[in-house]
Amino acid sequence: MIATFFAAFAFFGAIIFLPRWFQIVQSFSPTNSGLALLPLVGGLIFSSIASGLFVARTGRYKWLLVGAISLMAIAMALMTQLKADTPIPVVWFWMFIAGLGVGPTFSIFTLVVQNAVPFNMLGVATSNLTFFRQIGGTVALAIVGTVFGTAFQNQIAPSMTAAGVPDQLVNGFQQGVSSGQVDLNQLTGTGDLGQTILANSGPLAPAIQPYITNLVNGIHIAFSNAIASTFWIGVGAAIIAAYAAAGMQELKLRQQTAAQAAATDKADAAARDGGRPALPAAD
């Protein structure tokens, strides 16, 4: 349960802002930003199927889980390098690696839990697993959202300066943020960011107009850096999840249902009493 909690913590907390990066920094539409997650989904589906076949044939799952979570941690570490000018194919490659790690993590944990409890407790065990997974994602969203908001606000001024915005304009923008006249939420919405800035500048719009491209670039840099900082949380959570999975006891997978096991035991007992060979177990 600890491993699945932190695995969900790492995945949901880190991935939640990627579609917004595609929308705001890369100017994707909301629909296309969702489609941009297909590399992650593709890696997830492929690794889920492959890991299921591996476990079914070998009966081993412990180090597969540790390896998958470690791969997810590597993908999160790569995503900490996200920048405003990071090529989209590179981001898609990072996402595919993350999907390869997430697939076995979510699918095999269900098998592990169901294999470790009696048949009459399957429903309770599975619901507990889902509960811890949802709680992990919910807690992660709250923490990551706070980290992102703080990092974005702190990154605005240096990012604008790096983008070539005059210091006087940067100082005025900071004062607007501090006084509440500038709402950062309006800078992270969809649509033309430059027009949004001008529409909320009032009488300062003519002075801002020549630097509107620099302002937009600075906001994109700050937004990307803030998102990149959230992936460190995912790296830490994935490391904890891998450590918890490494300490897990690997139980032999059951090959029979309770009814089949009882029938086999009964047949073996009858064979011992009557001197007849034991009946084969039912499929």
pLDDT, tens digit, 9 for 90 and up, residues 213-243? 888 888 889 999 999 999 999 899 999 999 9
pLDDT for 282 beyond 70:
no
Q: Are 240 and 66 in contact (CB under 8 A)?
A: no
- Residue 283 has a pLDDT of 47
What the block records as the tokens of 159 is: 């990012």
CA distances from residue 93 to 39, 41, 75, 222 in whole angstroms, order as listed? 7, 12, 9, 23
- Residue bearing tokens 């790690």: 101
Q: Is the model's pLDDT at 209 over the cut of 80?
A: no
Q: Do 99 and 44 touch, CB atoms closer than 8 A?
A: yes
pTM of the model: 0.82
Question: Which tokens belong to 54?
Answer: 């591996």
pLDDT in tens, 33-77: 889 999 999 999 999 999 989 988 888 888 899 999 999 999 999
Helix %, strand %, coil % of the chain (to 5): 80, 0, 20
Distance CA 2, CA 246 (A): 12
Res 70: pLDDT? 93
Ordered by start, the domain boundaries in the chain are 1-249
Neighbours of 242 (CB within 10 A): 24
List of residues 6+ apart from 204 with CB closer than 8 A: 172
> Angle at Cα 282 formed by Cα 280 and Cα 283, nearest 5°?
120
* Architecture of the domain defined by 1-249: Up-down Bundle (1.20)
CA distance 139 to 229: 17
Neighbours of 277 (CB within 10 A): 9
Confidence band, pLDDT 50/70/90 cuts, at residue 154:
confident
> Alpha-carbon distance 137 to 133, whole Å?
6
Residue 245 burial (CB < 10 Å; 0-12/13-18/19+)?
buried
Q: How far apart are CA 250 and CA 115, in angstroms?
A: 10
Residue 153 has pLDDT above 90, yes or no: no
| Percent of the chain with pLDDT strictly greater than 70 | 79
- Residue 39: its pLDDT value, please? 93
C-alpha to C-alpha distances, 96 to 41, 43, 75, 118, nearest whole angstrom:
8, 5, 9, 36
191-207 pLDDT, tens digit per residue, is: 667 776 766 666 666 77
CA angle, 272 then 275 then 280, to 5°: 65
Overall size of the chain counted in residues: 283
CA distances, 86 to each of 80, 92, 205 (Å): 11, 11, 30
Helix (H, G, I), strand (E, B) or coil at 235: helix
State how far the Cα of 129 lies from the Cα of 132, in Å rounded to an integer. Answer: 5
Residues 233/144, Cβ–Cβ less than 8 Å: yes
Q: Which of 96-110, 159-173, 196-210 has the highest mean pLDDT?
A: 96-110
Longest dimension (CA), the chain: 101
Say whether 115 sits in a helix, a strand or coil. Answer: helix
